[in-house]
Amino acid sequence: MKAKSPMKLLEIACNDGSQLNEFLKRGWKTVGIDPAKNLADITSASGHTVYTGFRGIETFPSVSLLKSVDVIIAQNVLAYVDTPIQFLHACADIMSVQTKLYIETSKCEM
Protein backbone atom coordinates (compact mmCIF):
# COMPACT_ATOMS: atom_id res chain seq x y z
CA MET A 1 0.00 0.00 0.00
CA LYS A 2 1.36 3.41 -0.95
CA ALA A 3 1.79 5.83 1.96
CA LYS A 4 -0.19 9.04 1.79
CA SER A 5 2.01 12.03 1.07
CA PRO A 6 2.13 14.80 3.69
CA MET A 7 -0.32 17.67 3.47
CA LYS A 8 1.10 20.96 2.18
CA LEU A 9 0.26 24.29 3.82
CA LEU A 10 0.88 27.80 2.49
CA GLU A 11 0.69 30.62 5.02
CA ILE A 12 0.59 34.11 3.55
CA ALA A 13 2.13 36.68 5.90
CA CYS A 14 3.77 33.93 7.92
CA ASN A 15 5.67 36.36 10.17
CA ASP A 16 8.21 34.42 12.27
CA GLY A 17 6.71 31.04 11.33
CA SER A 18 5.08 30.32 14.70
CA GLN A 19 1.92 28.92 13.12
CA LEU A 20 3.88 27.03 10.46
CA ASN A 21 5.92 25.39 13.24
CA GLU A 22 2.79 23.74 14.62
CA PHE A 23 1.97 22.19 11.24
CA LEU A 24 5.59 21.12 10.64
CA LYS A 25 5.57 19.28 14.00
CA ARG A 26 2.58 17.30 12.72
CA GLY A 27 4.36 16.23 9.53
CA TRP A 28 3.01 18.81 7.08
CA LYS A 29 5.10 20.36 4.32
CA THR A 30 5.11 24.07 5.08
CA VAL A 31 5.52 27.07 2.82
CA GLY A 32 5.35 30.69 3.90
CA ILE A 33 5.28 34.09 2.25
CA ASP A 34 6.14 37.27 4.13
CA PRO A 35 6.98 40.81 2.99
CA ALA A 36 9.68 41.22 5.66
CA LYS A 37 12.99 39.60 4.73
CA ASN A 38 14.19 39.49 8.35
CA LEU A 39 11.09 37.51 9.37
CA ALA A 40 11.35 35.28 6.31
CA ASP A 41 14.93 34.46 7.33
CA ILE A 42 13.77 33.44 10.84
CA THR A 43 11.01 31.28 9.39
CA SER A 44 13.35 29.67 6.89
CA ALA A 45 15.83 28.83 9.66
CA SER A 46 13.03 26.84 11.35
CA GLY A 47 12.85 24.49 8.35
CA HIS A 48 10.12 26.06 6.23
CA THR A 49 10.24 27.02 2.55
CA VAL A 50 9.77 30.80 2.53
CA TYR A 51 9.29 33.42 -0.18
CA THR A 52 9.63 37.15 0.37
CA GLY A 53 6.90 39.29 -1.18
CA PHE A 54 3.12 39.51 -1.81
CA ARG A 55 2.52 43.27 -1.58
CA GLY A 56 1.65 43.29 -5.25
CA ILE A 57 0.42 40.52 -7.48
CA GLU A 58 3.68 40.64 -9.42
CA THR A 59 5.57 39.36 -6.36
CA PHE A 60 3.29 36.40 -5.65
CA PRO A 61 5.33 33.19 -6.09
CA SER A 62 4.87 31.41 -9.36
CA VAL A 63 2.10 28.86 -9.58
CA SER A 64 4.57 26.11 -10.48
CA LEU A 65 6.44 26.62 -7.18
CA LEU A 66 3.26 26.17 -5.14
CA LYS A 67 1.37 23.44 -6.98
CA SER A 68 -0.39 20.87 -4.87
CA VAL A 69 -1.15 23.15 -1.93
CA ASP A 70 -3.75 21.56 0.36
CA VAL A 71 -4.42 24.54 2.63
CA ILE A 72 -3.87 28.30 2.28
CA ILE A 73 -4.04 30.51 5.36
CA ALA A 74 -4.19 34.32 5.10
CA GLN A 75 -4.82 35.99 8.45
CA ASN A 76 -5.12 39.79 8.51
CA VAL A 77 -3.68 40.04 5.00
CA LEU A 78 -6.39 41.52 2.76
CA ALA A 79 -6.27 44.94 4.41
CA TYR A 80 -2.60 45.24 3.52
CA VAL A 81 -2.39 44.04 -0.07
CA ASP A 82 -2.47 46.66 -2.81
CA THR A 83 -4.97 44.79 -4.99
CA PRO A 84 -7.17 42.44 -2.91
CA ILE A 85 -9.17 41.09 -5.85
CA GLN A 86 -6.01 40.19 -7.77
CA PHE A 87 -4.60 38.68 -4.59
CA LEU A 88 -7.64 36.40 -4.31
CA HIS A 89 -7.28 35.45 -7.99
CA ALA A 90 -3.63 34.55 -7.32
CA CYS A 91 -4.77 32.30 -4.47
CA ALA A 92 -7.34 30.70 -6.76
CA ASP A 93 -4.65 30.07 -9.39
CA ILE A 94 -2.72 27.77 -7.04
CA MET A 95 -5.78 26.02 -5.61
CA SER A 96 -7.12 22.65 -6.66
CA VAL A 97 -10.71 21.60 -6.15
CA GLN A 98 -9.69 20.09 -2.79
CA THR A 99 -7.64 23.05 -1.51
CA LYS A 100 -9.04 24.83 1.55
CA LEU A 101 -8.62 28.62 1.82
CA TYR A 102 -8.88 30.22 5.26
CA ILE A 103 -9.06 34.02 5.33
CA GLU A 104 -9.33 36.09 8.48
CA THR A 105 -9.91 39.83 8.23
CA SER A 106 -9.26 42.38 10.92
CA LYS A 107 -12.00 44.74 9.74
CA CYS A 108 -15.66 43.81 9.68
CA GLU A 109 -16.32 46.15 6.72
CA MET A 110 -14.08 44.17 4.37
Domain architecture of the chain: domains with CATH: 8-104 (3.40.50.150)
Give every CB contact of residue 76 below 8 A, 6+ residues apart in sequence.
13, 104, 105, 106
- pTM recorded for the entire structure: 0.84
Helices (H) and strands (E) in the chain, counts: 3, 5
- Compute the distance between CA of residue 56 and CA of residue 33 in angstroms, rounded to an integer: 12
For the beta carbon of residue 6, count every other beta carbon within 10 angstroms. 14
Per-residue pLDDT of the chain (110 residues; tens, 9 = 90+): 554 778 999 999 999 999 999 999 999 999 998 888 899 899 999 999 998 876 545 556 555 566 678 999 999 988 888 888 888 888 888 888 999 999 998 766 65
